[in-house]
Amino acid sequence: VIDVTSLYQKTNNFTFDPGFTSTASCESKITYIDGDEGVLLYRGYPIDQLAETGKFLETGYLLLYGELPTKAQFDDFSKRIAYHTMVHEQMSQFFTGFRRDAHPMAVMVGVVGALSAFYHDSTDIRDPEQREMASIRMIAKMPTIAAMAYKYSIGQPFIYPQNHLDYSANFLNMCFAVPCEPYKVDPVLSRAMDRIFILHADHEQNASTSTVRLAGSSGANPFACISAGIACLWGPAHGGANEAALTMLQRIGTVDRIPEFIARAKDKNDPFRLMGFGHRVYKNYDPRAKIMQKTCHEVLEAVGHGDDPTLKVALELEHIALNDDYFIEKKLYPNIDFYSGITLRALGFPTEMFTVLFAIARTVGWIAQWKEMIEDPYQRIGRPRQLYTGPTERSYVAMDERG
Ligand code: ACO
- DSSP letter for each residue of 340-394: HHHHHHHHT--GGGHHHHHHHHHHHHHHHHHHHHHT-TT-----------SPPP-
pLDDT in tens, 71-106: 999 999 999 999 999 999 999 999 999 999 999 999
Which has more confidence, 176 or 9?
Answer: 176
Q: Which residues pair with 277 in a beta bridge?
A: 334
- Asked if 127 is an active-site residue, the reply is no
Are 332 and 321 in contact by the 8 Å Cβ rule? The answer is yes
Residue 63: CB within 6 Å of ligand 1?
no
How much distance in Å is there from the Cα of 330 to the middle of ligand 1? 9
Above 80 in pLDDT, residue 143?
Answer: yes
pLDDT at 9 (0 to 100): 57
Q: How many whole angstroms separate alpha carbon 236 and alpha carbon 311?
A: 22
Which residue CA neighbors atom 35 of ligand 1 most closely? 279
ipTM score assigned to the predicted complex: 0.95
Which residues are CB-neighbours of 351 under 8 A, at least 6 positions away? Answer: 243, 246, 247, 341, 345
Say how many C-beta atoms besides its own lie within 10 A of residue 149's C-beta: 25
Q: Which of 202, 279, 286, 308 is catalytic?
A: 279
- Residue 242 has what pLDDT? 87
Is the C-beta atom of 274 inside 6 A of ligand 1? Answer: yes
Prediction pTM value: 0.93
Contact 336, 200 (CB under 8 A): yes
CA-nearest residue for atom 29, ligand 1, is 280
How far apart CA 324 and CA 345 sit, in angstroms, is 29
- Number of H helices and number of E strands within the chain? 18, 3
**Residue 317 CA, ligand 1 centroid: distance in Å:** 16
Distance from Cα 277 to the centre of ligand 1, integer Å: 7
